[in-house]
């Protein structure tokens, strides 16, 4: 049996920057996972909560021995939990926010019409405009942003 902690509202912020004027050259992507120490603390507490679930009936009655983490709640401590969280951390491939719809002074890239600040007709219409992660899979939102974006472009062109 496996319980997975999916932490969808991290405080850490990564970055993405062009490395060349040539658009075919890959950008420099730095996820900066766990750069905000609150994230490791929250993750470890969530792992601790799963240990509690494993030790609560009816799960307790069907578990013979823990495999990962290799310790139970009674012999865990914050150091062990932090170490384990760092060892197994992984991504669920939901990067957002690199061209956030936020006020420009807060690091935003597009306004509420998906228009890039400082431009007259350049729009970003993809998951990068989401300023924060949502608590579920994000591709449905990509479709919604596409629909909304096409409406905005049609309206701007008088259609």
Residues with a catalytic annotation lie at 94
H/E element, 42:
helix 37-54
H/E element, 30:
strand 28-30
Q: Which is nearer to ligand FAD, 16 or 46 (CB)?
A: 16
For 6, the token pair is 């999916």
- For the chain, how big is the Rg over CA atoms in Å? 21
Which residues in this chain contact ligand FAD in the complex, by CB under 6 A?
A: 23, 93-94, 126-127, 137-139, 142
Distant-in-sequence contacts of 136-141, Cβ < 8 A, 24+ apart: 136/8, 137/94, 138/94, 138/96
For 36, counting Cβ atoms within 10 Å of its Cβ (0-12 exposed, 13-18 middle, 19+ buried), the class is middle
Q: Which is nearer to ligand FAD, 81 or 141 (CB)?
A: 141
Q: How far is the CB of 57 from ligand FAD (least distance, A)?
A: 33
Q: How far is the CB of 86 from ligand FAD (least distance, A)?
A: 22
Q: Which is nearer to ligand FAD, 17 or 93 (CB)?
A: 93
Q: How far is the CB of 52 from ligand FAD (least distance, A)?
A: 28
For 148, the token pair is 């909304």
Q: Which is nearer to ligand FAD, 2 or 91 (CB)?
A: 91
In whole angstroms, give the CA distance from residue 130 to residue 50. 30
Q: How far is the CB of 143 from ligand FAD (least distance, A)?
A: 9
């Amino acid at each position: 049996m496996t319980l997975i902690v999916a932490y969808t509202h991290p405080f850490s912020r990564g970055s993405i920057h062009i490395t060349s004027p040539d658009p075919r050259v890959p950008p420099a992507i730095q996820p900066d996972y766990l750069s905000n120490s609150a994230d490791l603390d929250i993750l470890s507490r969530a792992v601790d909560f799963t240990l509690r679930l494993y030790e609560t009936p009816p799960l307790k009655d069907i578990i013979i021995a823990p495999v990962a983490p290799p310790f139970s709640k009674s012999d865990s401590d914050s150091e062990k939990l932090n170490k384990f969280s760092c060892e197994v951390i992984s991504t669920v491939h939901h990067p957002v926010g690199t061209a956030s719809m936020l006020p420009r002074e807060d690091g935003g890239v597009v306004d509420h019409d998906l228009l890039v600040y400082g431009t007259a007709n350049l729009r970003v219409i993809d998951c990068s405009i989401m300023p924060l992660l949502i608590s579920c899979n994000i591709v449905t939102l990509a479709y919604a942003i596409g629909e909304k974006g096409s409406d905005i472009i049609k309206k701007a062109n008088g259609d």
